[in-house]
Amino acid sequence: MSTPGMNTKPALPNFDVEALRRDFPILAREINGKPLVFLDSAASAQKPRVVLESLRKTYEEEYANVHRGVYWLSATATKNYENVRKKLKTFFNAKDEREFVFTKGTTEGINLVAQSWGRAFLKAGDEVLITGLEHHSNIVPWQMLRDQIGIKLVVAPIDRNGNLIWEAFEKLLSAKTKLVAVAQVSNALGTILPIQDIVRAGHAVGAKVLIDAAQGAPHMRTDLQALDADFYAFSGHKLYGPTGTGALWGKKELLDAMPPWQGGGDMIKSVSFEKTDYADVPAKFEAGTPNIADVIAMGAAIDYLSALPWDAIEAHEADVLAYGTSLLKAIPGLRLIGEADHKAGVMSFVLEGVHPHDIGTILDQDGVSVRAGNHCAEPVMEFFGVPGTARASLGMYSTRAEMDALAAAIRKVQEIFA
Ligand code: PMP
């Protein structure tokens, strides 16, 4: 951003956010005659040029279906596609690249665990423990499983700031708890959950632990071996990769023991009318033609992210979040929803007397793109007694200047509704 009068001072001497922004072509465009201020990365992040270039290269030069061709193009596409698992293994420090099952996003990953692991290994009365700040995609799959096999869904409460109430969470853990499924970061509130402690506490009662990393993976590096969770689901499109991508990571011995959840081509060793032998993981869970070019481009996003200084990026994002939060808190009549002790990437707010959709629409006139609504977290909205919020969410390319633009645009909304 180079709008005159804005605070464009880079937050950190060793991180040049303006240089990083130049890697994202869309950030240079205008909306309604104003520089784009993109504050909806929690819904889906923008893509660096290397991702777009990867898509072009696959389709123009290296495209064919994977896994079944004996010809060069198919072998090349297969190699490029399978290589992405190696990239994920390194990026997340997993033990084995076969532990990554490609999905179209976090939602599909969680549904896979519910329908495959859940149906095979849970029984009526077993408890799945989630928290009060979960996204619908970490609620509904468990309700569906409850209706199918009679598990019990237990919800650990959050406090008025959006923190998980640890003592209450611990009390809800028991020998009946077979799975703990929690967000790494809340999309509606920005709360960072203490997932390392949650993994330890879950394992201590013999439960498996699933992390919904849709919002966590884009904001912090996670070492899967150190974390020692059992499942970790994330969305490639929130991690600066293409839409329709993501992965479910699971411990190999769990994935090996789980039945497939969709049947078809590519997930079998042999088929007759009497019997089918399934392929080994991860193919067992990837029935049908996969999202070839997009997965390969997710690999380009991982390469891109792997080359970045993550400590500096995390510090930069924290700085922009703190700066933006201080600006919003200074606006009379604005209520921040979610003021947890540890937060990443999200500022949800309501304005007295203004519907969140009106906020979103008016901000857009100034080129400021925010999301308005319940953010697929209706129970969170109910807890805070609001129908929805306006939500500004950050990516690594977000700047202090954009926070200035956001605050200025919110003040304009207030003038209109004054
Ligand atoms: N969990 C959380 C915390 C999310 O923010 C989202 C996306 N908003 C999801 C799950 C679902 O991700 P996807 O839509 O990519 O499947």
Which residue is catalytic, options 376, 378, 412, 417? 376
Ligand 1 and 222: CB distance under 6 A: no
Residue nearest atom 6 in ligand 1 by C-alpha distance: 214
Q: Using an 8 Å Cβ cutoff, are 154 and 128 in contact?
A: yes
Q: Report CA(342)–ligand 1 centroid distance (Å).
A: 20
Ligand 1 and 219: CB distance under 6 A: no
Ligand 1 and 346: CB distance under 6 A: no
Ligand 1 and 377: CB distance under 6 A: no
Ligand 1 and 107: CB distance under 6 A: yes
pLDDT of res. 7: 46
Indicate the top mutation candidate among 376, 380, 394 to test ligand 1's pocket, ranked by most ligand atoms within 8 A of CB: 376
pLDDT tens, per residue, the chain with 418 residues: 333 344 444 455 578 999 999 999 999 999 999 999 999 999 999 999 999 999 999 999 999 999 988 999 999 999 999 999 999 999 999 999 999 999 999 999 999 999 999 999 999 999 999 999 999 999 999 999 999 999 999 999 999 999 999 999 999 999 999 999 999 999 999 999 999 999 999 999 999 999 999 999 999 999 999 999 999 999 999 999 999 999 999 999 999 999 999 999 989 999 999 999 999 999 999 999 999 999 999 999 999 999 999 999 999 999 999 999 999 999 999 999 999 999 999 999 999 999 999 999 999 999 999 999 999 999 999 999 999 999 999 999 999 999 999 999 999 999 999 8
> What separation, in Å, do the N-terminal and C-terminal C-alpha atoms of the chain show?
29
Ligand 1 and 135: CB distance under 6 A: yes
Q: Report CA(213)–ligand 1 centroid distance (Å).
A: 8
Could you confirm whether 233 is annotated as catalytic?
no
Point out the ligand 1 atom lying closest to the alpha carbon of residue 104: 16
Q: Report CA(383)–ligand 1 centroid distance (Å).
A: 20
Q: State whether the Cα torsion 86-190-391-308 is positive or negative.
A: negative
Q: Omega into 35 within 30° of 0, i.e. cis?
A: no
pLDDT of res. 267: 92
Residue nearest atom 5 in ligand 1 by C-alpha distance: 187
CA distance 73 to 91: 27
CATH of region 52-306: 3.40.640.10
| Beta-strand pair 368-369/37-38 | parallel
Q: Report CA(232)–ligand 1 centroid distance (Å).
A: 13
Ligand 1 and 245: CB distance under 6 A: no
Point out the ligand 1 atom lying closest to the alpha carbon of residue 238: 15
For the beta carbon of residue 197, count every other beta carbon within 10 angstroms.
13
pLDDT of res. 20: 97
pLDDT of res. 334: 98
Ligand 1 and 375: CB distance under 6 A: no
Point out the ligand 1 atom lying closest to the alpha carbon of residue 109: 16
Structure tokens at 77: 């596409």
Return all residues near 136 (Cβ < 8 A) that are at least 6 apart: 376, 377, 378
Q: Which CATH number fits domain 17-48+309-417: 3.30.200.20, 3.10.105.10, 3.40.720.10, 3.90.1150.10?
A: 3.90.1150.10
Q: Which residue has the tokens 């064919």?
A: 64
Q: Report CA(269)–ligand 1 centroid distance (Å).
A: 33
Structure tokens at 68: 């079944």
pLDDT of res. 5: 40
Q: For 286, phi and psi rounded to 5 degrees?
A: -125, 65
Q: Report CA(182)–ligand 1 centroid distance (Å).
A: 12
Structure tokens at 115: 């329908």
Question: Can you give the residue ranges of every domain in the chain?
Answer: 17-48+309-417, 52-306
